[in-house]
Amino acid sequence: MKHSILIPLALVGGILTGCASDGARHDARGHYSTASDFHDGTRDEFIRSINDGLADFDRRYTELRTRSMTLNADARDEFFDHSVEIDAQRELVATRLHRLESALVDDWEDHRESVADAYEELREDLDDAQEDIEEEI
C-alpha cells in the first residue's frame, strides 16, 4: 500500500517541478538537482542551485503542511513530529549558505560540501516526513 501511494506522489512532484521555466535541472524525484551535482560549477551556479532547491523545498514543505492539516490526527501529529527537525535543518542550510556567500572568492569552495550536505539532509528529512505521513492515511 505504501508504495502505491508514493509512486503517484513522486510523479505529481516531478510534474509540478518539471514545469519550472527557469531551466533548472531536476533529479528523478522531481527535486531541483543539488549543488553537489555542480562539482565543476562556479560559485554563482552553486548558490543559484541551492537557492532554487530551497525555493522548491519551501513549496513542497508548505504543500505537505497544508495537506497534513486536512488529514487525520495521526498524520497531523506525524507532520508536527518531523517539523521540528525539518525547521532546524532548513535554518542550518540557510546559515551555511550565508557563510559561503560571505566567504572570500578564494575560500568559497571550502564551504561547498558543508552546504551541499546540509541541503541533501534537508531534502531527505522532507521525503521521510512525506512517507511517514502517507503511512498514517
pLDDT in tens, 20-55: 445 555 565 555 555 446 556 899 999 999 999 999
- Residues spanned by the domain of 36: 32-135
pLDDT > 50? residue 1: no
Please report the pLDDT score of residue 2 as a whole number: 43
Stronger pLDDT, 14 or 84, i.e. the higher one: 84
**Domain assignment of residue 27, yes or no:** no
Helices (H), the chain: 2-18, 43-69, 73-102, 109-135
**Domain assignment of residue 15, yes or no:** no
Which residues are within 8 A (CB) of 18 and not within 5 positions of it... i.e. 6 or more apart? Answer: 26, 30
pLDDT > 80? residue 96: yes
**Domain assignment of residue 51, yes or no:** yes
Cα first-last separation, the chain: 10
**Domain assignment of residue 12, yes or no:** no
Place of cell 549558505: 97
**Domain assignment of residue 65, yes or no:** yes
**Domain assignment of residue 60, yes or no:** yes
CA dihedral 115, 35, 50, 31 (to 10 degrees): -120
Stronger pLDDT, 4 or 40, i.e. the higher one: 40
**Domain assignment of residue 123, yes or no:** yes
The domain total for the chain is 1
**Domain assignment of residue 8, yes or no:** no
